[in-house]
Amino acid sequence: MQKISIDALAKQQLEAAVTSTSGRAADTVFGGHEKVLRQTVIAMKAGVQHSEHLNPGEATLFVLHGCIRLVVEDASWQGKPGDLLIVPDGLYSVEAEEDSAFLFTVGKTDGGTGAYEGS
């Protein structure tokens, strides 16, 4: 059994994102390429947009800190702490309206690599 503080990890990744030249930081806490389920804590500095990616399977974004916007084609949804956004099939992007952190969970259904690995 392994226990991880998602809140502490989110704060750590937020600090890293704010000082990063890319304005983002991520740490996969469970899963990886060899697993079906992957959970990654992702942090983004205010104003940063993660470019459009294809949904790698069934995916959700659980907002931990700040405010993000999930964008799919002509629609968008705002997420604040405690909100769970379900990523629709197809292309999507994520924008940070404030310094933000979220838990990205994906169950790969098509052998996808996941949108945030190595970002």
Q: Which of 77, 75, 49, 79 is nearest to 65 (CA)?
A: 79
Reported as a single tens digit per residue, the pLDDT across 9-25 is 999 999 999 999 999 99
The rounded distance, in Å, linking the Cα atoms of 88 and 75 is 11
Residue 74's pLDDT is 87
Reported as a single tens digit per residue, the pLDDT across 33-90 is 778 899 999 999 999 998 888 887 799 999 999 999 999 988 999 999 999 999 998 8
Q: Is the pLDDT of residue 119 over 80?
A: no
Six-digit token string for 109: 């259904």
Q: Which of 56, 52, 20, 22 is nearest to 40 (CA)?
A: 56
The rounded distance, in Å, linking the Cα atoms of 32 and 17 is 21
pTM: 0.87
Per this entry, what is the length of the chain? 119
Residue 110's pLDDT is 54
Q: Is the pLDDT of residue 94 over 80?
A: yes
Superfamily of domain 6-108: Jelly Rolls (2.60.120.10)
Q: Where are the domains of the chain?
A: 6-108
Are 7 and 64 a contacting pair, CB within 8 Å?
Answer: yes
The three-class DSSP label of residue 108 is strand
